[in-house]
Structure formats: C-alpha cells, structure tokens
Amino acid sequence: MSKQQPTQFINPETPGYVGFANLPNQVHRKSVKKGFEFTLMVVGESGLGKSTLINSLFLTDLYPERIIPGAAEKIERTVQIEASTVEIEERGVKLRLTVVDTPGYGDAINCRDCFKTIISYIDEQFERYLHDESGLNRRHIIDNRVHCCFYFISPFGHGLKPLDVAFMKAIHNKVNIVPVIAKADTLTLKERERLKKRILDEIEEHNIKIYHLPDAESDEDEDFKEQTRLLKASIPFSVVGSNQLIEAKGKKVRGRLYPWGVVEVENPEHNDFLKLRTMLITHMQDLQEVTQDLHYENFRSERLKRGGRKVENEDMNKDQILLEKEAELRRMQEMIARMQAQMQLQMQGGDADGGVHGHHV
C-alpha cells in the first residue's frame, strides 16, 4: 500500500487518499525529460513572408544562408521539400521543432502539379510511422508526421485563389490546416475584416475542413474561455513577421519601420501575431492529438483496407505472390493430411486395441 511509503503528497487528514493524483506530475517529468516533437509545414507562394514569420514565431534564424532564385531559375524549378530541424529549449522544456518548407509552390506558370510533391511527402511520413508502429522494435518511434500546416494566403487578392482552394481541398483530410493571411500590414482595418469574412465564406462554400480550435472546457477559468473565444473569432489570422528591433514610443519592439509609422509585430491592434503564437503554443498538444486520432487513423484504415503488406511489396510481382500462395496451400494441405493420418491412427488404435501387440502410437 502506498501509505507505507511516506511521500510528501500524503495528506494525513484524508485516510482514503491513495496518491495517484501524483500521476500527472510523473507524466510531466517524463515528458519534459523526453522532450516534445512538433512538425510544422509552411505552404504558400514565394515572397509572402513565410520564413520571416517562422523566424519571428520561434525567435530563431532557420535559414541563415538563403539564396533567393531569380524568375528565370524559377521557371525550371519544381516544388521541393526542405525540412529543417531546430532544438529549442525554454525553462528546461525541450522542443524539437521541424519546419517543412515548400519552396517553388505557386511559382510556376502552370501550377497543376504543385501539390503532388507535398501530398506525397505527407503520405510518406504517415507511411513511415505506420511501418514503425507495426514493426518489432517500437521503442523509439520518431514522429515525423506533419502536425500542422500553415497555409499562407496572399493579402493582395480578393479572397482565395483557385490554387488555394484546390490545394486545401487536397490536403484537408491529411493534415490540420491553419489559414494565415500574410503581410497583413498591406491592409487597412476595414480591408482586413472584409478579406477575413470573404475567406471564411469561401472556405465554407468549398467545404474545406480547416483546423478548429477546441472549445474551452466548462471547468476552465473565464480568462481562458475568453481567450479561446477571441482566438476562434480571429481565424484566419492576419500576421506580420519581423525580427528587427525598432525604436518606437521609447522602447525597442520588433517591427517594421515605414516612413509613415511603425508596425509592431507584437501589438494586437496591429496584427494577429500574438494570437497565432498563443494558438500554436496552447494547442500544440491538441494539434498532435488530432493528427494522431483523426488524420493518421484515416490514413491507416485506408491503407490497411487496400491490403496490408504493400510497404515492401512494391517490387514484388504477381508471380511471386502466386508462388507464395501455392506454398501456403501446400503447407496447409500437408497439415491437413497429417491431422487426418493422426485421427485415423487414433481410430485404428482404438479399434485394434486388443489385436495389436507392441504397436503404440
């Protein structure tokens, strides 16, 4: 009985106290030791400020030596997938963040094949996880599945472009989509509201399933509920990214300096950067859960339906499968024959109990 082991959590006044209220702390300690993993994918046309936003969100520099190709080079390029991993530590909590970038998306004149590469990457990660999960040694499964996808919408249009709609419809069943309006300092407040409403209408019109923040539990405090409500009302988030420190109103803030004023990144009246960050941080766990419970399960059931061992059987041709099946058949036939023989012998042995000397089965 746990009472025999004095710990600091025993409350002598409650005799029925078992002590498993300690469990969350144990989980917490274990997870902190293990560290967290999170994979974030950013998709959007070039020049929408994706890299700047990621750097601002996580206060790092993920792309130290970046060469931006010119238009002539872009004509030849197809969409590529670049994953960069960074380990961030804050107050003893380690986060292994992988950012998957998709340069080349939306650049080509004909973007029909833009999303094939991206979709196959997402599927590949699911595939790998499935394979690891079904393997023998399941101790150190590395989770590289894409937990969240920030889709950057251009603020210059009047809503979603045909490419945006097509892409989101292709991946909304595979990954959590968080639509983000990039370069929000282009828009006045009225334009921003109009654009947000337009985007939400179009998302509904095309039945695109974006990631929905879970409602606050009824036992959470009012502040949290209010915060969640505000977050939900601001989707899609319109953000501005910057890592430059500008002097404004006597203090140094991260922002962008224009001749007509300073846009502060962390000012909630200027843009929704803080909201996006809050959402990402407070709901990181939820994003991972939804990926695991919803998207991964969808993928898994679909794969298993299609017929299990396809992982390595890409190269196997039909003859080999036939041979295998034949071998199995033969084995089963042999087993049946042996069983039959056994039964017969038993019966014979039973009948000829008296007559047979020395023949034992």
Partner 1 sequence: MGKLRLRQIPDQLKVIELIIQKRGPESGPLTQGSAYARARAEARRARATSPPPRDSRAHRRSLLPRSPAPRPRPSLEGLPEARTDAAMSELVPEPRPKPAVPMKPVSINSNLLGYIGIDTIIEQMRKKTMKTGFDFNIMVVGQSGLGKSTLVNTLFKSQVSRKASSWNREEKIPKTVEIKAIGHVIEEGGVKMKLTVIDTPGFGDQINNENCWEPIEKYINEQYEKFLKEEVNIARKKRIPDTRVHCCLYFISPTGHSLRPLDLEFMKHLSKVVNIIPVIAKADTMTLEEKSEFKQRVRKELEVNGIEFYPQKEFDEDLEDKTENDKIRESMPFAVVGSDKEYQVNGKRVLGRKTPWGIIEVENLNHCEFALLRDFVIRTHLQDLKEVTHNIHYETYRAKRLNDNGGLPPGEGLLGTVLPPVPATPCPTAE
Question: How far is 226 from 243, CA to CA, in rounded Å?
Answer: 29
Task: Select the span of 40-48, 92-100, 168-176, 286-294 touching partner 1 (CB under 8 A).
Answer: 40-48
Question: How far is 53 from 241, CA to CA, in rounded Å?
Answer: 4
Count of residues of this chain found to bind partner 1 when the rule CB under 8 A is applied: 43
Out of 261, 316, 333, 344, point to the residue binding partner 1 (CB under 8 A): 261
Q: Which of residues 83-112 bind partner 1 (CB under 8 A)?
A: 107-112
Question: How far is 292 from 286, CA to CA, in rounded Å?
Answer: 10
Task: Select the span of 125-133, 171-179, 183-191, 314-322 touching partner 1 (CB under 8 A).
Answer: 183-191
* In 128-271, beta strands by DSSP E: 148-153, 177-181, 237-238, 245-248, 251-258, 261-264
Residue whose CB is less far from partner 1, 188 or 218: 188
Q: Which of residues 44-83 bind partner 1 (CB under 8 A)?
A: 45-48, 68-72, 74-75
Residue whose CB is less far from partner 1, 83 or 163: 163
By CB under 8 A, is residue 292 in contact with partner 1? Answer: no
Out of 157, 214, 308, 349, point to the residue binding partner 1 (CB under 8 A): 157
Residue whose CB is less far from partner 1, 19 or 69: 69
Min separation Cβ 196 and partner 1, Å: 15
Out of 264, 273, 275, 283, point to the residue binding partner 1 (CB under 8 A): 264
Question: How far is 167 from 294, CA to CA, in rounded Å?
Answer: 19
Min separation Cβ 83 and partner 1, Å: 21
282 Cα distance to chain centroid: 15
Min separation Cβ 256 and partner 1, Å: 6
How distant, in Å, are the alpha carbons of 77, 135, 197, 242, 248 from that of 101? 15, 29, 28, 18, 32
Question: Is 236 within 8 Å of 197 (Cβ atoms)?
Answer: no
- Between the two ends of the chain, the Cα-to-Cα distance in Å is 55
Residues with Cβ < 8 Å from 63, sequence gap 6 or more?
51, 55, 84
Token pair 């002097």: residue? 247
Residues that bind partner 1 (CB under 8 A): 45-48, 68-72, 74-75, 107-112, 114, 154, 156-158, 161-163, 166, 183, 185-189, 256-264, 269-270
